[in-house]
Amino acid sequence: MNRRVSRRTALAGIGLGALSAGCLGRTRNIAGRDGSSQLTLRIDAAPADSDPNAIRIASHLAENLNAVGIDARINTLGRTDLWRKVLINRDFDVYVGQFLEHEPFDPDAMYAFTHSRFVAESGRQNPFGFADLNGVDERLERQRRAEGDARADAVADLQRSLCELQPFTAVAFPDPLTAVRGDRFAGWTNRRPVSAAGLLGLDRAGPTDGAAEDGSTDDGSGGNATDDDGAGDDGIIDDATGEDGIIDDATLDDATGGDGIVSDAEREDSGAVLRLVTTDASVTENWNPIAAEYRREGTFTALLYDRLALADGDEVVPWLCSGWERDGGTVTVALRDARWHDGEPVTAGDVAFTYEFLRDTSMGALEAAVPTPRFRGRSSVVRSARAVDDVTVELSVGDVNDAVAARALRVPILPEHVWADRTDPATIAGFEFDAETTEAVVTNNEEPVGSGPIRFVEATPEESVAFERNPDHFLARAGEEESSSDPAAGVPERFRGKPAFDRLEVGVMPSDIAAVQAVGDGLADATVSNIGPDAVPRIGREADARLVTGRAGGFYHVGYNARRAPLSNPRFRAVLASLVDKSALVDDAFSGYAEPAASPLATSPEWVPSDLSWEGRETDPASPFVGDDGSLDVEAARERFRDAGYRFDNEGRLLSRGE
């Protein structure tokens, strides 16, 4: 009889409390640790109180690996340390994380995730050390050049290659779950209501009913912007409501008193304060927009640092620039009248510096280039940047298509007079770097100087941070009647005169439950971090709190270090992928608030070929789970390892190759 492990046993096999703290320590190699010939894999993930979804995926995978004879050990560490290990030190076996590129999810987002070579760098430069020079690399380059059906074909082939080679395993796209209240601010939308675009789209809520000045209603249906921290703002509020607290249009109008928008003068007099709560303390300590460690949201750095352009639904609209023109391989960008938060003017020289800096944060001082991991894909599009004059810059983009060229305009623009001094090799007390990196990539960026619509005020580490409205920003100036010209020409109307708050305060809560309680008690207007499904019932019990939910493009995944054997073997990785029961994880770990996926482009179905689409299927079309009815078929899984060339000892332990 085949031995089976039920999905609930796998998910419950390792208690979340035991995974919330502690580190198993750095190990020297994958196989033969502690003198044993049994294969050992370390799974790195953030702890349960920081990312319960990630630790549940890690627990599920570890239980199944142990069942088939692999010694799987979970190592929990803070999110910052996790990403530094993965992206800088590359010291990991397997990790569980969330990719932060959100809708609209252009296929070129996969460039930074899977391309093996950037600019003058040599070697395998993606997070996994994965290289497929004649397959994936070639298809990534082809989709950058192609248009229309030719690009769709290249993207389809790219997805098939990734599903076959499995440098990472896409698990699920979680629904963003946010608790909000509408008595002080109106216009909460789904698709990340507390993203940069979502917060800029808010209006003050007043005590009276009525129609908004722009003719829209309080449901946020006035637009569909998506900011570059991955936040969507399509204005659709989930139309279900009930005991779970999910918000509908009528409920939202009741909570906000119609639209009740107040004038700019009334807003200034009111001293409006937007209060948010989060469980992620890094927002009180780190404001580096190009940090090596990916943030879960990136909301506040996106508000501190402007991009040249903003994704607005299917369009890309001018933001820090007033417009751009493309002539062959050159994009000419015209800047708006803007200033840095310290009063210095924003110039074309700053823009040219930014692109050069993102490609090599050492600015040639080190032997090899040190690009910023977070924006290496977009910055690699721009081959060179030249300031024509103070307000005009030319970007050389080569023969890429317009979608890829426009995406390259969505990187944070940095002040040269601040960042030019951050090119030295990085040093952090208590953290050892195994690979050469720079201060720019790891600095906390204290006292941040950007050009965005908010500016930094003060912070108490691990407790709170405060920002204030930037009255010199082009959005704020667009709301001033005395303006002689339009400082925000081309910007969507709902952002003009914004933000609607004078001060933005973010407090750190110990748990999702505490964060929801703060919203229900009126101490906060919304939660920032994506709350876990365990907190959803609590929202339904809070009379003044509502759940806003939608779909996100940031997928959870299991990443493999292809620099190390046996993870360097795609057949081995493919068997590991078949041990992940994605449907069970969605049902049990995410409580149904997620969609399983085989492809990293699953939330952009127009790009997914039918053979990789989950729609209408009960199991993974690329890597079907080894088992049925939610139970792992241990013997079938072992047979797959044997077919891949691996052996087991008499005790059922999988041996490292050569043993």
The 3-state secondary structure of 210-241, one letter per residue: CCCCCCCCCCCCCCCEECCCCCEECCCCCCCC
Helix axes 136-145, 148-165, angle to 10 degrees: 160
Separation of alpha carbons 509 and 524, rounded Å = 11
What confidence tier does 3 reach under pLDDT thresholds 50, 70, 90? low
The 3-state secondary structure of 527-581, one letter per residue: ECCCCCHHHHHHHHHCCCCEEEECCCCCCEEEEECCCCCCCCCHHHHHHHHCCCC
Give the range among 148-162, 310-324, 631-645 with minimum mean pLDDT: 310-324
What's residue 311's pLDDT?
86
Which sign does the torsion angle of CA 335, 338, 344, 350 carry? negative
DSSP state letter for 586:
I
Asked if residue 233 has pLDDT above 50, the reply is: no
Give the pLDDT mean for 393-417: 96
CA distances from residue 449 to 6, 120, 260, 339 in whole angstroms, order as listed: 53, 30, 34, 10
What's residue 104's pLDDT?
60
What's residue 376's pLDDT?
86
Contact between residue 92 and residue 42 where contact means Cβ atoms under 8 Å apart: yes
The model's pLDDT over 328-359, given as tens digits with 9 standing for 90+, comes to 999 999 999 999 999 999 999 999 999 999 99
Give the pLDDT mean for 528-543: 81
Separation of alpha carbons 54 and 568, rounded Å = 23
Give the pLDDT mean for 429-458: 85
Helix axes 148-165, 570-577, angle to 10 degrees: 90
Separation of alpha carbons 311 and 192, rounded Å = 14
Separation of alpha carbons 23 and 113, rounded Å = 27
Two tokens, residue 422? 């951050």
Separation of alpha carbons 383 and 616, rounded Å = 43
> What average pLDDT does the structure give for the chain?
82
Give the pairing of strands 177-180 and 594-596: unpaired
The model's pLDDT over 294-319, given as tens digits with 9 standing for 90+, comes to 555 688 999 999 999 998 877 899 99
Contact between residue 586 and residue 630 where contact means Cβ atoms under 8 Å apart: no
Separation of alpha carbons 41 and 58, rounded Å = 12
What confidence tier does 468 reach under pLDDT thresholds 50, 70, 90? very high
What would you measure as the largest C-alpha separation in the chain, in angstroms? 84
What confidence tier does 543 reach under pLDDT thresholds 50, 70, 90? confident
What's residue 335's pLDDT?
98
Separation of alpha carbons 249 and 237, rounded Å = 7
Contact between residue 248 and residue 241 where contact means Cβ atoms under 8 Å apart: yes
What's residue 101's pLDDT?
65
Two tokens, residue 305? 């640092």
CB-side exposure of 87: number of CA atoms within 13 Å? 27
Separation of alpha carbons 254 and 245, rounded Å = 14
Q: What is the DSSP string of 42-92?
A: EEEE--TTT-HHHHHHHHHHHHHHHHHT-EEEEEE--HHHHHHIIIII---
Separation of alpha carbons 171 and 598, rounded Å = 7
pTM for this prediction = 0.84
